[in-house]
Amino acid sequence: MNPSQSPGVTRLPDRVFAGVNLSNTVGQQADSSTLRHVRATGGVPGVFRRTRAESGRRGMSPATKALAGGSVTVAVGLLLWLFTGDVHTPVITLTKVGVVLMFMGGLELLYGVYLGVVKKK
């Protein structure tokens, strides 16, 4: 055993380990629990990854996503319909694009309401 090392302490390798470059920690002493953490998570020692459940955050439900997307689409369509009457484009007018966006946003809003009602049953 090397006199500079004590039992239970391992020297970090001089290479990329588990997909993470540990070159900033090369030559430092690391105990076996740190190496186990690096092997398990692929993380740098001292940096712990949290799963979504551990952090307490949840993703948006599909109903909420559909409602949010539909409302934004309706709002953009309404703005186009109201304020682009004077703008002339070659193929299609922006007011017609606004009407189409409002229609599509309304369908998405109805789909979000449907998903919300079905999920509660």
Q: Tell me the per-residue pLDDT of 45-74, one tens digit each, with 9 for 90 and over.
A: 555 555 555 556 678 899 999 999 999 999
Q: How many domains does the chain have?
A: 2
Residue 25 in domain: yes
Q: Which helix (H) or strand (E) holds 10?
A: strand 9-11
Q: Are residues 46 and 78 in the same domain?
A: no
Q: Are residues 34 and 66 in the same domain?
A: no
Q: Exposed/middle/buried for 25, CB within 10 Å: 0-12, 13-18, 19+? A: middle
| pLDDT for the residue numbered 41 | 58
Residue that terminates a domain, selected from 33, 55, 77: 55
Residue 2 in domain: no
Residue that terminates a domain, selected from 19, 38, 55: 55
Q: Which structural domain range is residue 95 located in?
A: 62-120
Give the model confidence (pLDDT) of 6-49 as tens digits: 555 555 554 444 445 444 454 555 555 555 655 555 555 555 55
Contact 66, 107 (CB under 8 A): no
